[in-house]
Amino acid sequence: MSPATIFMTHLVLGYVPWLLCFGAYFWPRLAAMDRFEAQRAIATLHSFRFFGLAFLIPGVVGVHLPPGFAVFAAYGDFATGLLAMLALLTVRIRPLFWAFVVAFNAVGTIDIIVDYYHGNQLGLPELAGELGATYAIPMLYVPLLMITHIAAFYLLARPLPRAGRAFSSGH
């Protein structure tokens, strides 16, 4: 198999075990949680996205990693991580917390989608070895991040329970 084929196989199959694990262990707990606590748990996971700055460290990645990919991926992750941290820091100011939850999920989802697009456009599968030590990020970490973004949006869109609606409307 060519390195590009192995890269694409890893990329696609990275979702399978995470979806199985998420469906069996994480989703039942998140779905049963209070919506605030569920979003707080998701924000905690995404607060580690500062690690994406590793795409910019020479020696961690190869010298031929396309800068168009590395820079956007690094700063998109960094921005998402900071927004998730801000959500966690504002848990006592609920309107601000919710704004940061929406922001980190929107920025993070766009980051991942654009990274997939840029990576494909720049021939990243053929240059997969240039990811160096960061190879594990798109294979192991990104699938879980994307799955939790989808879960977060689903939880945000889910109607509040009847008691929650009465409470939130001030009655």
Question: Of 61, 64, 90, 59, which Cα lies nearest the Cα of 74?
Answer: 61
pLDDT at 166 over 80: no
The encoded tokens of residue 93 equal 């100011």
**Residue 133, helix vs strand vs coil:** helix
User: What's the pLDDT at 170?
Assistant: 45
Q: Which helix (H) or strand (E) holds 4?
A: helix 3-13
Give me the percent of the chain exceeding a pLDDT of 70: 94
Q: Could you say which DSSP state residue 99 is in?
A: H
Domain borders along the chain are 27-158
- 3 state SS of 160: coil
* pLDDT tens column, 56-95: 999 999 999 998 899 999 999 999 999 999 999 999 999 9
Give the model's pLDDT for residue 169: 46
| Distance, CA of 69 to CA of 18 (rounded, Å) | 24
If you average pLDDT over every residue of the chain, what do you get? 93
Give pLDDT tens digits for 89-126: 999 999 999 999 999 999 999 999 999 999 999 999 99
